[in-house]
Structures are given as structure tokens and as C-alpha cells.
């Protein structure tokens, strides 16, 4: 099954906690603090894999987590770093932040992308020794890793995209000019997913051509299959518009040409301005004067717009080599395949932590969530200096002021993330 879009949740590893330890050795008095730092958490890393052609692997598994860092230990031993999680994605995958929709990376332009950074390990108590505080009994907790949802969008790396209504002969054309073997049948929506083929145009010249499933009127608004696969034309340097010139299904080729161009423009103005070559297919089936007049009207419209026009029959191998040569010459003038530039800006770590929420229930004031949870992790309530740091931080961050505005009174019980104390002014 071909899957070209997936949303997954990734979580980097948490940093290990710093250690509270003191040097203990025979004949060494007052060895001092020697608690080691915690190890950093593992990163979530995306790596492009040219052997993958679909995002099917992400259809059923949607949560990915890297390893946590180990806690520090005595003798200033640093904890082991958490193991990175490497996720392989198809070459050409565009990574977006789900919340903002901003592009984070284009996996056709980079060999390795850190999608979620692991948390830093906490400092051991050896970092907090000063001339006046020679035996600190507290350490820093490790920071949590980045956790987010990302959207993976596979945009095929093709030089040329074949577009047109269903059943106009795109798959047949691809099978004739390349070694690709797409499914071919005489009914609409035979092609259910894009097919790629390498086209050889003489010595030293080759390009990749993609057969995009049939686009219909309203595709830019979600109608038919074309809407799901329009994204695969985004990278194409050149568009080959295949039109059924025979009118076997009672359609007007000129009207079809205008409809498809309108759908491309509504999907993406940049796509509408992409260089285009028009191939009128099934010309061998034209027998009547009316069909011939429609073909001539189409050719006149195309040439007046400054586009090249070819009369071909993919099934009869008529005019296909001339079309291939024209495409090859045109590609030499065009810039390389488009690369999506990153737009996402990583937010500051502290900015992600909101103020804690304050509520009252059964006479107890509750301060929960936000940066208060991280504060609790860094406090050793068995140490006087650490408790003073806890009290000072609450006061500087305005928690006491907010409590007083809400009506806290002397002697009330205040619970900060499960730690209860009696309020004193």
C-alpha cells in the first residue's frame, strides 16, 4: 500500500539527575562533594533512506521515544547518555511541525535531522560547592526531552510530472518511455498511487518521470484522487500535460486542458507557473472531421500560450521519442529539483513552561503544573539551603503575590505539586 502522509508523536529522552554524594576515602578528611552529572537524554533523529518509497511503516506505529539519560554517581561519575532513536524515512520526505504547520526539514537536502533534542543532564552537587557552602546537599534534576507531533509528507523526487484527467494514457506513456510497469486498464482511476520511471534520452541524458493519478474537476478542493497526490508535483521541474485528443468519452480536449490548469492554479500558484509541455495522446484514434477540428483548436490555444505541443499515441509508440527529446532539452534549461527551506523556529525552553495554576479545595490552596513541577524536582527538602531556594523562587515568580490576591491567610495550607507547607508572610 502506498502511504504518502503520516502524523507521528516523537519524544526525546529525559536527562539523568545529578547525584548528591561526598568523597569518602581512608585518610582523606573532609573529602567534599563529588556527585556526578546526569547523562543527556537521547535525540530523535530522522535519516533519509533511498530504499524506502512509502510512509507505510508509520501507519500503525505512531509513537516513538528515545532513551533517557542515566543518573550521575559518586566520584564525579557522569551518567550514561541516553540512546538516540533513529527513524528512517523515504528520500524526499518533508517534515512539518503539526501545531504550526511550519517546515522543519526537507529530507532530500540533509542526511540527518534532529527532530527532537534530548534533555540536558542535571548537575551533581560538586558544581554547587562554594567557599561559604562547602557541603551542598542538593543537585539539579535532568531536563525533559522535547516532545511534539510532526507531519511527514512524501513529495516524490521527480523531474517531470505527468498530469491529466483519468484514462488519458499517462500510465501507458510512462511504460513506453521507461521501464516502469504501472497497472494499465481502460477505466477511470486505474492508477491509485504515483509511479516513477527513469527515462533515458540518449547518451548522458536521463530524467525521472512520475505518473500522477488522475486529477478531476474539484481536485484542489478534495474531489477524486488527484487532491491526495497533487503534492507530488510540487518538486517537478517540468509538467507534461497529457490530453485525450480522440474525445472517445465525449469530452472536449480543450475544455479538459483548461480545467486541469485551473485545478493546478487553485492548488498552488507556483505550480501553475511551472514550465509545461502538452502531449495530445490517442491521435491515432482520430477519424472524424469534428475530432480533428477539436485537436487543431487545442493546438492553437497551447501554442498561443507559448507552450510546446506534440501529437502522440503512446499505445502505438507514435511521437513518443520526439516528446522525450523535447523534455530532455527543456530540463537542461531548468533549475534543479526544488528544496523546501526550513521555516520552523525552535521555541525557548523556558518559554514553554507556563505559570502554575492556583486553585482552592476543602480549605487547601493548590499550586500545580507549569514551571512549579520542574522546581520541585530540583529541591532537596532535607537541606536548609535548598528549602530557602524553593521559598525564594516562589516569591520571585509571584506565586505568593497571586495567593494573597486570591485571599490566602496566615496559617493556611498550601500544596505545591503535592508538597504541603503552612503559609507565613
pLDDT in tens, 175-233: 999 987 766 655 455 555 778 888 988 765 789 998 887 676 654 555 554 556 677 77
Domain with CATH 3.30.300.350 in the chain: 353-422
Domain with CATH 3.40.50.300 in the chain: 160-333
What is residue 246's predicted lDDT score, i.e. its pLDDT?
86
Distance CA 309, CA 303 (A): 7
pTM exceeding the 0.85 threshold for the entire prediction = no
What is residue 180's predicted lDDT score, i.e. its pLDDT?
72
Distance CA 282, CA 320 (A): 11
Q: For residue 307, what are the contacts with CB-CB under 8 A and spacing of at least 6? A: 276, 277, 278
Contact 137, 383 (CB under 8 A): yes
Q: Cell 486505474 belongs to which residue?
A: 190
Q: Of the candidates 204, 240, 210, which has an alpha carbon nearest to the alpha carbon of residue 320?
A: 240
Could you tell me what percent of the chain has a pLDDT over 70? 91
* Whether the predicted pLDDT of 360 surpasses 80: yes
Lowest mean pLDDT among 20-34, 129-143, 216-230, 254-268: 216-230
Q: Please state which architecture CATH assigns to domain 160-333.
A: 3-Layer(aba) Sandwich (3.40)
Q: Positive or negative, the Cα torsion across 405, 407, 413, 416?
A: negative
* Whether the predicted pLDDT of 276 surpasses 90: yes
Helix (H) or strand (E) holding 114: strand 113-116
Of the two residues 376 and 150, the one the predictor is more confident about is: 150
The arithmetic mean of pLDDT across residues 228-244, rounded, is 84
What strands lie across the sheet with 93-97, from one edge to the other? 63-65, 5-11, 147-154, 93-97, 103-106
Helix (H) or strand (E) holding 282: none
- Per CATH, the homologous superfamily of domain 1-154 is GTP1/OBG domain (2.70.210.12)
Q: Which CATH number fits the domain 353-422, given the four candidates 3.40.190.10, 3.40.50.720, 1.10.3110.10, 3.30.300.350? A: 3.30.300.350
Amino acid at each position: 500500500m502506498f502511504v504518502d502522509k503520516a502524523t507521528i508523536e516523537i519524544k526525546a529522552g529525559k536527562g539523568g539527575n545529578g547525584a548528591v554524594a561526598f568523597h569518602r576515602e581512608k585518610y582523606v578528611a573532609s573529602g567534599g562533594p563529588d556527585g556526578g552529572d546526569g547523562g543527556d537524554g537521547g535525540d530523535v533523529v530522522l535519516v533519509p533512506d533511498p530504499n524506502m518509497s512509502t510512509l507505510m511503516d508509520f501507519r500503525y506505529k505512531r509513537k516513538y521515544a528515545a532513551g533517557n539519560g542515566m543518573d550521575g554517581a559518586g566520584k564525579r561519575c557522569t551518567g550514561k547518555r541516553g540512546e538516540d532513536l533513529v527513524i528512517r524515512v523515504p528520500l524526499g520526505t518533508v517534515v512539518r511541525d503539526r501545531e504550526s504547520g511550519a517546515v522543519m526539514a526537507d529530507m532530500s537536502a540533509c542526511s540527518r535531522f534532529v527532530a527532537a533534542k534530548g534533555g540536558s543532564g542535571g548537575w551533581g552537587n560538586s558544581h554547587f560547592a562554594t567557599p561559604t557552602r562547602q557541603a551542598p546537599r542538593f543537585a539539579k534534576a535532568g531536563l525533559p526531552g522535547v516532545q511534539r507531533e510532526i507531519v511527514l509528507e512524501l513529495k516524490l523526487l521527480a523531474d517531470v510530472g505527468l498530469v491529466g484527467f483519468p484514462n488519458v494514457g499517462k500510465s501507458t506513456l510512462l511504460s513506453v518511455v521507461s521501464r516502469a510497469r504501472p497497472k494499465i486498464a481502460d477505466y477511470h482511476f486505474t492508477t491509485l498511487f504515483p509511479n516513477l520511471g527513469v527515462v533515458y534520452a540518449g547518451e548522458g541524458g536521463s530524467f525521472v518521470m512520475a505518473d500522477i493519478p488522475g486529477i478531476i474537476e474539484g481536485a484542489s478542493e478534495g474531489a477524486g484522487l488527484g487532491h491526495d497526490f497533487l503534492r507530488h508535483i510540487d518538486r517537478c521541474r517540468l509538467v507534461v500535460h497529457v490530453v485525450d485528443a480522440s474525445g472517445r468519452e465525449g469530452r472536449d480536449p480543450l475544455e479538459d486542458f483548461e480545467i486541469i490548469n485551473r485545478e493546478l492554479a487553485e492548488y498552488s500558484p507556483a505550480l501553475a507557473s511551472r514550465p509545461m509541455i502538452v502531449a495530445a495522446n490517442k491521435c491515432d484514434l482520430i477519424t472524424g472531421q469534428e475530432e480533428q477540428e477539436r485537436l487543431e483548436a487545442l493546438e492553437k490555444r497551447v501554442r498561443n500560450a507559448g507552450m510546446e505541443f506534440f501529437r502522440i499515441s503512446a499505445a502505438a509508440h507514435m511521437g513518443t521519442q520526439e516528446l522525450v527529446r523535447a523534455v530532455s532539452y527543456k530540463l537542461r534549461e531548468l533549475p534543479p529539483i526544488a528544496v523546501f527551506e526550513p521555516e520552523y523556529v525552535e521555541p525557548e525552553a523556558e518559554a514553554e513552561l507556563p505559570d502554575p495554576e492556583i486553585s482552592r479545595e476543602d480549605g487547601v490552596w493548590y499550586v500545580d503544573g507549569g514551571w512549579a513541577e520542574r522546581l520541585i524536582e530540583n529541591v532537596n527538602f532535607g537541606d536548609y539551603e535548598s528549602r530557602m531556594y524553593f521559598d525564594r523562587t516562589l516569591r520571585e515568580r509571584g506565586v505568593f503575590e497571586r495567593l494573597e490576591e486570591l485571599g490566602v491567610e496566615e496559617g493556611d495550607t498550601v500544596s505545591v505539586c503535592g508538597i504541603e507547607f503552612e503559609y507565613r508572610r
